[in-house]
A and B are shown apart, each in its own frame.
Chain A
């Protein structure tokens, strides 16, 4: 039940009975067949505890459950859509960037401070992720929204990737990230390049970068 990209701003998903899909509320453009859209109180998977966790973490984006049989078209806000297929690894993404994802994926919330302590929290502030981010794990497809086109940059152990925090969309794989600062005396006197903070991703996996520094 993968997503098919119709064009850069629209994806098509096939829904079959017994399998469900989560999508952002109001993101359905059209559908064929008999499909029902139910607002999801918990904002995703898991029980009430997961819901409370998401609420506290401010990662509770309004989601709805899509069930039935037919074809559904999704698109939202004129944002570009990127389909990411996961094969067992974990995708780290902000909850409000999620357009739709397979119900087979395990949804979780991660505290950024758990990766690198205080620096992780600082990193979250700079990238606009806040203190928490959403994780999706398992086998399935995710449609992620971004402002401007999205491109995938592979990360290999020899080649760490530096990304502007504002252009960072998501990453998956076995990746460590840290905020690298290039603060110098120039920044102190107001003559900085405007690129003092960069997100350094190392390990093996991929990072998705949007062609814009605008947040959603």
Chain B
């Protein structure tokens, strides 16, 4: 590292000393492009050296690339392709950033946490709404609030602390209302006295695999994962109310905020 003068002063990077496909610090990741491409979420590039082009997906020349490694057509507008050669820095609002290598594997991640990925990976919508699945071999970059901790199943995870999972079958919901049984519990449930522990609902993972957890319960803003085909049997394909009759959750009343409200748990 070429520091100017004082030892212990700030590290000054130039294009030569920037790491190749590695973290610069906890919050910044550097990607090297050599005539290759990377997919990144809009607005996550903070600086770059060299000559690069950032094209929104849907740009004519990239059609083939998008076809092979991008499988959620309707959320394509949130992603751009970086092309060219040079070094590019990625960051997201001072969240911790880390890269992950997949070797012929699969990993499902919360849509808001994924920052960028190599086109050798295929990005698909997960069946679980709000999550994206990466399949194949390559590197991707994801952000989290606080360092990511890897856990082995069986484990039950607070929904807000879950970042993603690899190789596990899909999670299921676990409800824990033990304290609401019995006479006192019934009273508690009826009157609301005593409050709730806030931990009645978890995601449960079983089987072999890895679960990724962030260290806090602060969620990153969710990114749209795109609409799914409006077909019977497709989860999350609520679409236009009334069209298919079956809508997730409670029926929407006038004055409710819809998606926003669900996101903030109102």
The residues of A with any CB-CB pair to B shorter than 8 Å are 6-10, 25-32, 36-39, 41, 62, 64, 73, 75-79
B179 A9 Cβ-Cβ under 8 A: no
- Secondary structure class of chain B's binding surface, majority of residues: loop
Q: Knowing A30-B151, A78-B145, A78-B146 touch, does A37 contact B176 (C-beta < 8 A)?
A: yes
CB within 8 A of B157: which of A30, A36, A39, A64? A30
- Of the stretches B12-20, B43-51, B196-204, the one at the interface is B196-204
Chain B residues close to A by CB (< 8 Å): 145-147, 149, 151, 154-158, 161, 176, 178-179, 193-200, 202, 211, 213, 215-218
Contacts of A75 in B (CB 8 A): 146, 161, 215-217
CB distance from A26 to the nearest CB of B (A): 3
Give the complex CA separation of A36 and B156 in angstroms.
Answer: 12
Known: A31-B156, A38-B179. 17 other contacts (CB 8 A): A6-B215, A8-B147, A27-B217, A28-B199, A29-B217, A30-B151, A30-B156, A30-B161, A30-B213, A39-B197, A41-B194, A62-B195, A75-B215, A75-B216, A75-B217, A78-B146, A78-B218
A32 touches B155 (CB 8 A): yes
B96 to chain A, nearest CB (A): 10
Docked Cα-Cα span, A6 to B211, in Å, equals 15
Instruction: Write 23 A-B pairs (CB below 8 A) sorted by A numbering.
Output: A6-B149, A6-B215, A7-B146, A10-B146, A10-B149, A10-B216, A25-B196, A26-B197, A28-B158, A29-B213, A29-B215, A29-B217, A30-B158, A32-B156, A37-B198, A38-B179, A39-B195, A39-B198, A75-B161, A76-B217, A77-B217, A78-B145, A79-B216
Cα–Cα distance between A145 and B140 once the two chains are bound (Å)? 32
Bound-state CA distance A77–B193 (Å) is: 25
Report which of B151, B198, B215 forms a contact with A64, defined as CB distance below 8 A: B198
> How far, in Å, is B177 (CB) from chain A's closest CB?
10
CB-based closest 4 A-B pairs: A26-B198, A9-B215, A10-B215, A37-B199
B1 to chain A minimum Cβ distance, whole angstroms, is: 24
Inter-chain CB contacts under 8 Å: number: 96
Q: Are B154 and A32 in contact (CB under 8 A)?
A: yes
Distance between B235 CB and nearest chain A CB, rounded to angstroms: 24
Question: A6: nearest residue on chain B (CB-CB)?
Answer: B149
With A and B bound together, what is the CA distance between A37 and B199 in angstroms? 7
Chain A residues contacting B216 (CB-CB under 8 Å) are: 9-10, 29, 75-79
Contacts of B178 in A (CB 8 A): 36, 38
* Residues on the A chain within 8 Å of B211, using CB: 30
Which A residues are CB-close (under 8 A) to B200? 37
Which chain B residue shows the least CB distance to A24? B198
Is there contact, CB below 8 Å, between B155 and A30?
yes
CA distance A30 to B204 in the complex (A): 9
Complex Cα distance, B147 from A110, in Å, reads 36
In the bound complex, how far is the Cα of B176 from the Cα of A41, in angstroms? 18
* B residues near A73, Cβ cutoff 8 Å: 149, 213
CA distance A173 to B155 in the complex (A): 38
Closest-by-CB residue of B relative to A81 is B215
Contacts of B199 in A (CB 8 A): 25-26, 28, 37, 64
B195 and A9 contacting across the interface, CB-CB below 8 Å = no
Q: Would you call B194 and A39 a contact (CB within 8 A)?
A: yes
Q: Give Cα A69–Cα B244 distance, bound, in whole angstroms.
A: 45
Bound CA–CA A8/B214 (angstroms):
12
A77 CB contact (under 8 Å) in B149, B197, B198, B218: B218
Known contacts A7-B215, A37-B176, A39-B179; is-contact A25 B195 (Cβ 8 Å): yes
Residues of A within 8 A of B194 (CB): 39, 41
Expressed in whole angstroms, the minimum distance between the Cβ of A162 and any Cβ of chain B is 27
Question: Contact between A7 and B213 (Cβ–Cβ < 8 Å)?
Answer: no
Q: Please give the distance in Å from B55's CB to the nearest CB on chain A.
A: 35
Chain A residues within 8 Å of B215, by CB: 6-10, 29, 75, 78
**How distant is the Cα of A122 from the Cα of B147 in the complex, in angstroms?**
39
Residues of B contacting A31 in the complex (Cβ-Cβ under 8 angstroms):
155-156, 202
Give the chain A neighbours of B213 by CB distance below 8 A.
Answer: 29-30, 73
Residue pair B146, A9 in contact (C-beta under 8 Å)? yes
